[in-house]
Structure 1
């Protein structure tokens, strides 16, 4: 089970994503406003962040760029979940540090599979880091 934070201001998206993640056994913290996201991440320390691009207050892009400058969150996996389609937007998100980019509308099963793949990647990375620290 992972702790996942969802930052989105759309009640329907929040419900669909939360239901899919909870049905897979994950806990979900929801933030509706961009200005609250960084404080919530610091407080809850999620294993993965799902972040909308367009939010009231701070944008998802602003939040992502700031997360990548902080040592505590620079390696936190972040999935952008947005209605902004196109290679330009996904490319910008990648440059800003997004690990995945999912456009709305989306298939909840596909979203869940991508979340699970990101979490497996995090687990493997932590295992390799722990093993390397034991060798030193």
Structure 2
């Protein structure tokens, strides 16, 4: 079970994802703006974050940049889930450090798959770091 935070101002999409991820066995929080998301990430340190690009108070890419600059959070998996469809929006998010860029609308089952994939990559990476240190 992973602790996952979804930050999306689209209530319907957020609830669909929250339910799909909870059905997959994860603990999931849902927030509607970037500022609250960043504050929660800094205090609660989830295992994975799903960010919308266009949110009130703080854009998702700005939240991502804060995460990547924090020594305690630099490797936190972040998936961008957004209605922004241009290649330049995707390039900006990936350059800022997003692990994946998913476009709305999307199948919640596909998001669960991408979440599981990102969590497994993190586990593998953590195991390799631990082995190298010992």
TM-score bucket of the superposed structures, by smaller chain: over 0.9
Q: Tell me if structure 2 keeps the 8 A contact 1:31–1:40.
A: no
Give 1:85-104 correspondences, 5 Å limit: 85-104=85-104
Q: Distance in 2 between matches of 1:127 and 1:101?
A: 25
Unaligned runs of 5+ in 1: none
1:11-50 aligned within 5 A: 11-50=11-50
The CA deviation at 1:104 is 0.4
Counterpart of 1:107 in structure 2 is 107
Query: 1:50·1:81 contact (CA, 8 Å) conserved in 2?
Result: yes
Give the equivalent residue in structure 1 for 2:62. 62
| Matching residue of 1:124 | 124
Residue correspondences, number: 134
How far 1:34 sits from its partner (Å)?
1.4
Provide the secondary structure at the position in 2 that maps to 1:68: helix
The alpha-carbon deviation at position 131 of structure 1 amounts to 0.8
Deviation at 1:86, TM superposition (A): 2.3
Aligned residue for 2:8?
8
TM-score relative to the length of structure 1 = 0.95
Structure 1 partner of 2:74 = 74
Aligned partners of 2:66 and 2:132: how far apart in 1? 28
User: How does the TM-score come out when normalised to structure 2?
Assistant: 0.97
